[in-house]
C-alpha cells in the first residue's frame, strides 16, 4: 500500500517536471487540439501496402517504454488504444519534451502510420508532432489495467474508466441501451416528456422521500420518488402515448440492487391495459437483447439467464402456492409460514403478510424472465381491479435473476375509487388531506382514458444485459458511505 509520504514524494517529482515543461515554454495543461481521430478508427483504416498514411490522435499514456533513442507509448482514448512511437532522430527538438512524459499524462500525437517489427500499428510522431495536453500529478494505478480496489474504483471513477477498459465499455453500452429504448418507443408513437423532479407532494409510489426547501416560496418540497402522477395528468391532457427516462430518489438503504438515486423509464399508453404493457415490455427488452447481447443467454453471477421469448406468465397466487406451499386464501397457513420464516407478522395486515411471504419464498427463485400477474388489490392503490375477481389488481411485475425489473398496471381512472384508495393508503396520518394529491383527483375528474402504465428500472436492466451483479457497477457515481464513517460492530 502506498503511504502518504510516498504519495507526497511522487507528486513532488511530477511537480518538478511541470517546472521543466514551463522552462521549455510548454503549457503543462495544454489548449485546444483538433482535429482528433479515435484510435480504433485509425487502426481500422490502416492499409499495409499504402504509403504516406497520416494520423492525428490524442489520449492518456497508459504504457510507457523508454529504450534509449526510441520511446513507445500506448495511448488510450474513448475508443481504445493505439501505439505511438517517438524516435530521437525524427522528433529532434522535441526529444527533451518526450523525456519528460509520464504514465497518466495526456498528449496529442501526429505523424505517419506504420507497423513495428512485431506487427503493431503505430503512429510514428513527426517533427513537432508531439503536443503536451495535461500533466498527471497523482500516481496512476501500478498497472495500466489494474485499478483493482473495488471501493477505490467507485470513489475514483475518473481513474477507473481509463484504468479498466471493461468499465468504459460497460458505460458506453449503458448509453447505447438507453438510446435503443428511446428509438423503440419513438418508433411506436411515444412522446418523450419531462416532469418535475421537485414535487409538493411525494406520490406515485410507497417510499420514503428526500425533503428539501424552496426559500422564496418558503415551501418544503420532495425529490420525486416517481413521475407517475404527472405522466397520467398528461394522458388527461390528450398526450396519449408518453414516456420519461427519469431520475428518481428514495431515502432508503444501499445494497447491491439499490441506490438512493436511480434511473427508470415510465411509459403510459392510452386505451391499453396491463396485457398491452406486458407485450410492450417483452418487445422493448427483447430489442435491447438483440441489439446489445451476443446471445439470448446471458451470464449473471452464477446464473445463465435465458432471455429467449416468449417469457413465462404466471399468477401471483399460483407462485405463492408453488414456492411456499400456502394457498393465498388460507391466511392462517400464510401466517404460520411467516413465523417459520422468522417474520414478525403479528402487527401486519393480512395482505402485507402474504406479500412478505411471497417476497421471502418466491422472488429469489425467479431467474429466467417471469411476469408475475394479478397482485392482491389492497397492495395496488393506483391500479384497476380485475373484473372477474376484484380481490386482485390488474398488475404485473417482471422478475429476472430474482430482481424486480418492471412494474405495470391497468391504470385506475375512476376519481371516486382513486380518492377512496388514497384515504386507505394514508390512513393513520394526522392530516390526510395535506398529504393527498388532490390535484390528481381533480385531473381524473376531467376524464383520463383507460390506459396501461409501465415502469422499468434502467440500472437493473443494464445490470442484466452487461452481467454486472451490483448496481454500483452500472452507475457512474454511486452513493457510498464516507471514507471515515464508523464501521458497524
DSSP output for 283-332: HHHHHHHHHH-SSSEEEETTEEEE-PSSPEEEEHHHHHHHHH---TT-HH
- 10 pLDDT more than 50: yes
Whether residue 323 is contained in a domain is answered as no
Question: Does residue 37 sit in the same domain as residue 130?
Answer: yes
Grade residue 1 by pLDDT with cuts at 50, 70 and 90: low
Question: Does residue 379 sit in the same domain as residue 266?
Answer: yes
Grade residue 3 by pLDDT with cuts at 50, 70 and 90: low
Give Dmax (Cα) for the chain. 88
Whether residue 66 is contained in a domain is answered as yes
Cβ atoms of residues 269 and 241 within 8 Å: yes
Report CA-CA distances (Å) from 176 to 29, 179, 192, 203, 458: 32, 5, 17, 31, 12
- 100 pLDDT more than 70: yes
- 433 pLDDT more than 50: no
Question: Does residue 77 sit in the same domain as residue 207?
Answer: no
pLDDT the model gives residue 489: 37
Question: Does residue 131 sit in the same domain as residue 169?
Answer: no
Cβ atoms of residues 49 and 155 within 8 Å: no
pLDDT the model gives residue 425: 80
Cβ atoms of residues 426 and 412 within 8 Å: no
The predicted-structure confidence for 454-474, as pLDDT tens digits, reads as follows: 999 999 999 999 999 999 999
Question: Does residue 84 sit in the same domain as residue 173?
Answer: no
Grade residue 5 by pLDDT with cuts at 50, 70 and 90: confident
Interatomic CA distance for residues 452 and 450, integer angstroms: 7
Grade residue 429 by pLDDT with cuts at 50, 70 and 90: low
Mean pLDDT along residues 62-91: 96
Question: Does residue 297 sit in the same domain as residue 194?
Answer: yes
Q: What's 168's domain CATH number? A: 3.30.930.10
pLDDT the model gives residue 436: 85
Whether residue 485 is contained in a domain is answered as no
Q: What's 20's domain CATH number? A: 2.40.50.140
Find the distance separating the first CA and the last CA of the chain, reported in whole Å. 25
Q: How many Cβ atoms sit within 10 Å of the Cβ of residue 459? A: 21
Q: Which residue has the higher pLDDT, 81 or 252?
A: 81
- 414 pLDDT more than 50: yes
pLDDT the model gives residue 426: 78
Grade residue 149 by pLDDT with cuts at 50, 70 and 90: confident
pLDDT the model gives residue 481: 86
Whether residue 434 is contained in a domain is answered as yes
- Listed residues 140, 170, 203: the one ending a domain: 140
Cβ atoms of residues 175 and 458 within 8 Å: no
Q: Which residue has the higher pLDDT, 217 or 435?
A: 217
- 482 pLDDT more than 60: yes
pTM of the model: 0.92
Question: Does residue 295 sit in the same domain as residue 169?
Answer: yes
Cβ atoms of residues 314 and 372 within 8 Å: yes
Question: Does residue 101 sit in the same domain as residue 176?
Answer: no
The predicted-structure confidence for 165-178, as pLDDT tens digits, reads as follows: 999 999 999 999 99
Question: Does residue 207 sit in the same domain as residue 134?
Answer: no
- 369 pLDDT more than 70: yes
Is 404 known to sit in a ligand binding site? yes
Interatomic CA distance for residues 124 and 84, integer angstroms: 6
Range name among 62-76, 316-330, 376-390, 471-485 with the lowest pLDDT average: 471-485
- Listed residues 78, 109, 140: the one ending a domain: 140
Q: How many Cβ atoms sit within 10 Å of the Cβ of residue 255? A: 10
Whether residue 355 is contained in a domain is answered as no
Give me the number of domains the chain comprises: 2
Report CA-CA distances (Å) from 245 to 210, 286, 444, 446, 487: 20, 18, 24, 27, 36
Question: Does residue 131 sit in the same domain as residue 172?
Answer: no
Interatomic CA distance for residues 68 and 65, integer angstroms: 9
- 83 pLDDT more than 80: yes
Question: Does residue 305 sit in the same domain as residue 238?
Answer: yes
- Listed residues 86, 106, 140: the one ending a domain: 140
pLDDT the model gives residue 350: 94
Which domain, by its residues, includes 18?
4-140
pLDDT the model gives residue 148: 65
Residue-averaged pLDDT of the chain: 93
Whether residue 398 is contained in a domain is answered as yes
Question: Does residue 22 sit in the same domain as residue 87?
Answer: yes
Is 342 known to sit in a ligand binding site? no
Whether residue 151 is contained in a domain is answered as no
- 432 pLDDT more than 70: no
Grade residue 143 by pLDDT with cuts at 50, 70 and 90: low
Cβ atoms of residues 74 and 91 within 8 Å: no
DSSP H helical segments within 140-213, as ranges?
150-155, 157-163, 165-187
Amino acid at each position: 500500500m502506498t503511504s502518504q509520504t510516498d504519495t507526497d514524494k511522487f507528486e513532488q517529482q511530477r511537480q518538478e517536471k511541470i517546472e521543466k515543461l514551463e522552462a521549455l515554454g510548454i503549457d503543462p495543461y495544454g489548449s485546444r487540439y483538433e482535429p482528433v481521430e479515435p484510435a480504433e478508427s485509425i487502426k481500422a483504416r490502416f492499409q499495409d501496402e499504402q504509403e504516406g498514411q497520416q494520423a492525428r490522435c490524442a489520449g492518456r499514456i497508459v504504457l510507457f517504454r523508454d529504450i534509449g533513442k526510441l520511446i513507445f507509448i500506448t495511448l488510450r482514448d474513448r475508443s481504445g488504444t493505439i501505439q505511438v512511437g517517438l524516435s530521437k532522430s525524427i522528433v529532434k527538438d522535441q526529444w527533451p519534451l518526450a523525456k519528460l512524459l509520464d504514465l497518466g499524462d495526456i498528449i496529442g500525437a501526429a505523424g505517419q502510420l506504420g507497423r513495428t517489427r512485431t506487427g503493431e500499428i503505430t503512429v510514428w510522431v513527426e517533427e513537432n508532432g508531439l503536443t503536451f495536453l495535461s500533466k498527471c500529478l497523482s500516481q496512476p494505478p501500478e498497472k495500466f489495467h489494474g485499478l483493482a480496489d473495488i471501493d477505490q474504483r467507485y470513489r475514483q471513477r475518473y481513474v477507473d474508466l481509463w484504468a479498466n477498459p471493461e468499465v468504459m465499455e460497460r458505460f458506453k453500452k449503458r448509453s447505447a441501451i438507453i438510446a435503443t429504448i428511446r428509438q423503440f418507443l419513438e418508433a411506436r408513437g411515444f412522446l418523450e416528456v419531462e416532469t418535475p423532479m421537485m414535487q409538493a407532494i411525494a406520490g406515485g409510489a410507497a417510499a420514503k422521500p428526500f425533503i428539501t426547501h424552496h426559500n422564496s416560496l418558503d415551501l418544503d418540497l420532495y425529490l420525486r420518488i416517481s413521475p407517475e402522477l404527472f405522466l397520467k395528468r398528461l394522458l388527461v391532457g390528450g398526450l396519449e402515448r408518453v414516456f420519461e427516462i427519469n431520475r428518481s430518489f428514495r431515502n432508503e438503504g444501499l445494497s447491491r440492487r439499490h441506490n438512493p438515486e436511480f434511473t427508470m423509464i415510465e411509459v403510459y399508453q392510452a386505451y391499453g391495459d396491463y396485457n398491452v404493457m406486458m407485450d410492450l415490455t417483452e418487445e422493448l427488452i427483447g430489442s435491447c437483447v438483440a441489439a446489445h447481447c451476443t446471445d439470448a443467454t446471458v451470464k449473471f453471477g452464477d446464473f445463465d439467464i435465458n432471455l429467449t421469448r416468449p417469457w413465462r406468465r404466471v399468477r401471483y397466487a399460483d407462485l405463492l402456492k408453488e414456492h411456499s406451499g400456502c394457498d393465498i386464501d388460507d391466511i392462517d397457513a400464510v401466517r404460520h409460514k411467516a413465523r417459520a420464516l422468522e417474520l414478525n407478522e403479528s402487527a401486519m395486515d393480512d395482505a402485507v403478510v402474504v406479500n412478505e411471504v411471497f417476497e421471502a419464498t418466491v422472488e429469489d427463485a425467479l431467474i429466467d424472465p417471469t411476469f408475475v400477474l394479478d397482485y392482491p388489490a389492497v397492495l395496488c392503490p393506483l391500479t384497476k381491479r380485475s373484473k372477474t375477481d376484484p380481490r386482485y389488481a390488474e398488475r404485473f411485475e417482471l422478475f429476472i435473476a430474482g430482481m424486480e425489473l418492471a412494474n405495470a398496471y391497468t391504470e385506475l381512472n375512476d376519481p371516486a375509487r382513486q380518492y377512496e384508495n388514497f384515504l386507505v393508503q394514508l390512513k393513520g396520518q394526522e392530516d390526510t388531506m395535506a398529504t393527498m394529491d388532490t390535484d390528481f383527483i381533480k385531473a381524473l375528474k376531467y376524464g383520463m382514458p383507460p390506459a396501461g402504465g409501465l415502469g422499468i428500472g434502467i440500472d437493473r436492466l443494464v445490470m442484466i444485459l452487461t452481467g454486472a451483479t451490483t448496481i454500483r457497477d452500472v452507475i457512474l457515481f454511486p452513493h457510498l458511505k464516507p471514507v471515515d464513517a464508523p464501521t458497524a460492530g
